[in-house]
Structure 1
């Protein structure tokens, strides 16, 4: 088979594009820190418009359509980057670079998920393509909208400086913001029920996980690590006194938070700075101040970033000094970026090992530990021990349905396999539903509620030794609608006295099934409907929380990232 141009060789799979590596306010020696990143190579229409991302540069506030960015084809030669040598002023002022920046970061994050999970990832919205509006409106906000199939990025004027001058802040130029919103769209595609109103942890994980992906993907860029390490990126050596957890926290994490400035604090919610400042050794989980989703999400960010520092330091222990306590700076930077990249892979893969409904931080921690144990049993760099210790520092411990090491228990129950077909089980919802139905007693699903298999996905992972781990990930959901009085009388669910007895409520259960390459069930990771006292207590906590939040009085009960993100900027929501 011949490709375009007559060659029988494979075409290039990636191309390089320039992006702003973190935020325009992060500078080294007076210059914006930028990076040249790999993104999937594709033939683009003006916009750029590709097979997964479509940039539509329309400004609602100004009622203006900006000129489309055009990225040249590489079929007849090399893929060229039109902003490779551009000045900082050009990057800040040219809307076409803003479009390229948003496109490249979104595609990089999508490709990172697909690499970690070993399969194509769908967006949470309908269709194959996600719209990106890099200058959507004059407002300090950025959000993902499932209904509009879009990411919206606002712009606004900064606070006056000491001379009274202001400048325009574009959220589409912040790697952190673009990666965060892209992750919302991807996570919605992986677990659609995570946008369902639930306990505080589930909404907080959507925010915290998006922050974790955004920040670790930043630290996986060597340009960023080198820029904020000790302020001397041109030196070839670095004193090991700068490489303690306390010093790295001050230089790398606090340094980046400080450089990001105040302009984006409303859009970002100051999550990086707050997460670093949280004092470990305290149980935050029942603290009323940490029930709001952004505040609670900071606990997840804090635990992951402190784990990142521990892992980085562990890896640095294998690097010797060159002279007088000095280490090779390039190796230090490389190990930091590698630690961030590995932890990012774990964070992404863990989603496959989470229950599909009523997710808790404890569930996510157990998923992290399990997915890493599956691929790297020996844990020679101490990733799992670092995660356990740092999550515990903020009151987060593994789920109760786990092994001694905090990972999920293997499924050792007798199952009926002879009535289902192995090949169909790899991809067919109906075939997996047959398996679930035949084994509903062994799976402890029970006989009440509506059951639906929502997805069946393949997963391919490469272990450090080069061996391939193949799995099939299936998720099923149980739905039951009944009156408050039925929940209390028939199932002994404790609910607020103020809830009307006649009110109908919907409760959810469900599980994730992990099959090995031979079609045998390895794990069932479930939050059941009403199987035991723990399920009854979980349903009661969820409904009490929703009642206290006024959920049952709202007309739109699906939640809105637009309103949620706007609330932390201090700007009142406007209706268009």
Structure 2
């Protein structure tokens, strides 16, 4: 079969586009550090508008629709990058580059998730395409909205400098901010109920994972890493003193959204978040200050980044110096890229090994350990040991339902397979529901509540040594609506005293089923509805938290909260006052 170019050879699968590598504040030789990144090749309409991302450059504040960016077609010649040689002034002022920047980074993050998970990934909103508005409004904010099927990026005026001059800060030019918001949209597609009111950990996980993806994905851009280490774009060697733990932790590599942070605070070098600087060893999990989702999310980020730093430094210790205490710069960057890439892959794949509701940081830690053991059994570089140690430093331990090493317990129970069909189990919700129904007692689901299989997703994971792991990931959710009085009397759940007995309450249970390549159940990772005392305590704790936070009357879809959460985090209210 011939393709449209009259050849049986495959068309190109990727193209390169220029982006601002971190944000406009990161410069070398007084020039903004930029990068040329690979994104999936596709035929684009002006915008750019592609099969997954549609850039709509409408500014609600100015009531203006800016000229769309047009990128060349690969069917009519070579893919061209219109901003490859553009000066900094053009990158900062041309809305068409801003459109290219958000498109390229969003597609790169989506491709990174699909590579790690071994399958296509859908957005959390309806439809195949996600809208991105690079100049949505004049406000220091950026957020994802499921209802609007969009990512919104704002802009604002900076604080005056010493000469009393200001400039416009565009959130659409920050790699960290774009990657963060894109991750929200992807995670919502992978685990839609993580946006429902639950516990401090579940809301914080959305924010924490988005920061982790934004920060670790930077290490795949060698020019950024090189510039951040010593402010130089090139050179063959780097001083070993610059590779000490504290020096690396203070570098721009571990700070989120430098330009936005310093311009909103008026303090130079003050990033939006610098989670790795949190001191380990404190009881953060019970600290009232760390019940707010952004603050609590920083605990997850700190544990992940400190784990990465431990691994990077360990790998660097195997590299000798060449002359005068200096090491090979390319090897230093390469070791950082490898460590970050593996940890980022773990972070993404672990989502599949998490329960679909009431997620805790402990659940996520067990998921990280388990998915890595499945693909890399030997752990020669000590990733799992580093994660265990650093999560422990912030009061986060593996799930109580996990094995002694922190990984999920394998499912060794006898299951009924003869009434389901293997091929259909790979993709059919109805077939998996039949399996769940036939095995509900063995799976300890019980006989109460409404059960729904939400998704069935085949995955192909590739290990560093080329080993291929094929799995099928299925999610089921159990829903029970009862009155507060029934919950107290019939189920012995502690319901807050202020909730009237007649009031209906909605409880959730659910689990993730991991099937191997032969259709046999490997893991059931569940937070059951009301199976035992632990489940009843979890339900009581959830109700108490929601009652205290005033969230019991909140609609299930909380994606609009991203706008309020991010705006509050920006400090705009304090600045306006």
Normalised by the length of structure 1, the TM-score is 0.96
SS at match of 1:103: helix
> Could you say which residue in structure 1 is the equivalent of 2:347?
347
Q: Residues 430 and 555 of structure 1: is their aligned pair in 2 closer, same or farther, counting only changes over 3 Å? A: closer
Once residues 263 and 370 of structure 2 are traced to their aligned partners in structure 1, the CA distance between those partners, rounded to angstroms, is 39
Once residues 272 and 385 of structure 1 are traced to their aligned partners in structure 2, the CA distance between those partners, rounded to angstroms, is 29
> Could you say which residue in structure 2 is the equivalent of 1:488?
488
> Could you say which residue in structure 1 is the equivalent of 2:428?
428
The question of whether the paired residues in 1 share the 8 Å contact of 2:316 and 2:335 is answered with yes
Once residues 475 and 453 of structure 1 are traced to their aligned partners in structure 2, the CA distance between those partners, rounded to angstroms, is 6
The question of whether the paired residues in 2 share the 8 Å contact of 1:225 and 1:252 is answered with no
Question: Are residue 537 (structure 1) and residue 498 (structure 2) matched?
Answer: no
SS at match of 2:477: strand
Question: Are residue 283 (structure 1) and residue 283 (structure 2) matched?
Answer: yes
> Could you say which residue in structure 1 is the equivalent of 2:416?
416
The question of whether the paired residues in 2 share the 8 Å contact of 1:228 and 1:255 is answered with no
Once residues 139 and 467 of structure 1 are traced to their aligned partners in structure 2, the CA distance between those partners, rounded to angstroms, is 48
The one-character-per-residue Cα deviations of 1:42-77 (angstroms, maximum 9, x if unpaired) are 010000000000001111111111001000011233
The 5-angstrom pairing of residues 112-511 of structure 1 reads 112-251=112-251, 253=253, 262-263=262-263, 273-511=273-511
Q: Residues 385 and 194 of structure 1: is their aligned pair in 2 closer, same or farther, counting only changes over 3 Å? A: same
What's the offset of the Cα at 1:435? Answer: 0.3
What's the offset of the Cα at 1:241? Answer: 3.0
What's the offset of the Cα at 1:254? Answer: 5.9
What's the offset of the Cα at 1:352? Answer: 0.3
The one-character-per-residue Cα deviations of 1:212-249 (angstroms, maximum 9, x if unpaired) are 11111112221211111123443311232332322321
The one-character-per-residue Cα deviations of 1:173-224 (angstroms, maximum 9, x if unpaired) are 1111111110000000000000010010000000111111111111222121
What's the offset of the Cα at 1:474? Answer: 0.2
> Could you say which residue in structure 2 is the equivalent of 1:95?
95
What's the offset of the Cα at 1:281? Answer: 1.2
The one-character-per-residue Cα deviations of 1:375-423 (angstroms, maximum 9, x if unpaired) are 0000011111111111111101100111121111111111011110000
Once residues 77 and 437 of structure 1 are traced to their aligned partners in structure 2, the CA distance between those partners, rounded to angstroms, is 55
The question of whether the paired residues in 1 share the 8 Å contact of 2:159 and 2:264 is answered with no
What's the offset of the Cα at 1:338? Answer: 1.8
What's the offset of the Cα at 1:566? Answer: 1.5
Q: Residues 255 and 418 of structure 1: is their aligned pair in 2 closer, same or farther, counting only changes over 3 Å? A: closer
SS at match of 1:398: coil
What's the offset of the Cα at 1:261? Answer: 5.0
Once residues 234 and 192 of structure 1 are traced to their aligned partners in structure 2, the CA distance between those partners, rounded to angstroms, is 44
List gaps (5 residues or longer) in structure 1.
Answer: none
The question of whether the paired residues in 2 share the 8 Å contact of 1:230 and 1:251 is answered with no
Once residues 264 and 211 of structure 1 are traced to their aligned partners in structure 2, the CA distance between those partners, rounded to angstroms, is 19
Once residues 273 and 524 of structure 2 are traced to their aligned partners in structure 1, the CA distance between those partners, rounded to angstroms, is 37
> Could you say which residue in structure 2 is the equivalent of 1:562?
563
The question of whether the paired residues in 2 share the 8 Å contact of 1:551 and 1:557 is answered with no
Once residues 157 and 349 of structure 1 are traced to their aligned partners in structure 2, the CA distance between those partners, rounded to angstroms, is 39
The question of whether the paired residues in 1 share the 8 Å contact of 2:211 and 2:256 is answered with no
The question of whether the paired residues in 2 share the 8 Å contact of 1:453 and 1:475 is answered with yes
SS at match of 1:161: coil
Once residues 189 and 481 of structure 1 are traced to their aligned partners in structure 2, the CA distance between those partners, rounded to angstroms, is 25
What's the offset of the Cα at 1:128? Answer: 0.4
Once residues 443 and 526 of structure 1 are traced to their aligned partners in structure 2, the CA distance between those partners, rounded to angstroms, is 9
The question of whether the paired residues in 2 share the 8 Å contact of 1:271 and 1:298 is answered with no
List gaps (5 residues or longer) in structure 2.
Answer: none
Once residues 445 and 84 of structure 2 are traced to their aligned partners in structure 1, the CA distance between those partners, rounded to angstroms, is 56
Q: Residues 295 and 67 of structure 1: is their aligned pair in 2 closer, same or farther, counting only changes over 3 Å? A: same
Q: CA RMSD in A?
A: 1.8
Number of matched residues? 571
Once residues 562 and 551 of structure 2 are traced to their aligned partners in structure 1, the CA distance between those partners, rounded to angstroms, is 16
Q: Residues 556 and 538 of structure 1: is their aligned pair in 2 closer, same or farther, counting only changes over 3 Å? A: closer
The question of whether the paired residues in 2 share the 8 Å contact of 1:353 and 1:371 is answered with yes
> Could you say which residue in structure 1 is the equivalent of 2:10?
10
Once residues 367 and 306 of structure 1 are traced to their aligned partners in structure 2, the CA distance between those partners, rounded to angstroms, is 18
The question of whether the paired residues in 1 share the 8 Å contact of 2:366 and 2:399 is answered with yes
SS at match of 2:251: helix
Normalised by the length of structure 2, the TM-score is 0.96
